[in-house]
A and B are shown apart, each in its own frame.
Chain A
Amino acid sequence: MDCVMITTDILDSVALRENLPDHSCCGALVQFEGIVRDQNEGKKVIEIEYECFDKMAKKELGQIIGEAKGKWPIHEVFIAHRVGKVTVGETSLVLFVMSSHRREAFEASQYIIDELKKRVPIWKKESYEDGKTDWIACHH
Chain B
Amino acid sequence: MKIKVLLFAKLREIVGKESVDLELPERTTALGALEALFEDKKQVEQMREYLLFAINQSYARPDAILKEADELALIPPMAGG
What number of A-B contacts does a CB cutoff of 8 Å give? Answer: 73
Beyond A53-B73, A113-B81, A123-B76, 6 additional contacts (C-beta under 8 Å) are A56-B73, A119-B78, A121-B78, A122-B78, A135-B79, A137-B50
Contact of A81 among B8, B54, B75, B80 (CB under 8 A): B80
A40 → chain B, closest Cβ, in Å?
11
> Any chain A CB within 8 A of the CB of B61?
no
Interface positions of B (Cβ within 8 A of A): 6, 8-10, 12, 50, 54, 57-59, 73, 75-81
- Known contacts A56-B54, A56-B57, A56-B73; A138 and B9 CB within 8 A of each other: no
Provide a sorted-by-A list of 13 A–B residue pairs whose CB atoms are within 8 angstroms. A53-B57, A56-B73, A59-B58, A81-B81, A93-B80, A116-B81, A118-B78, A119-B59, A121-B75, A123-B80, A124-B79, A125-B9, A138-B77
> Any chain B CB within 8 A of the CB of A120?
yes
Q: Which residues of A contact B77 (CB under 8 A)?
A: 123, 137-138
Contact of B80 among A117, A125, A135 (CB under 8 A): A117
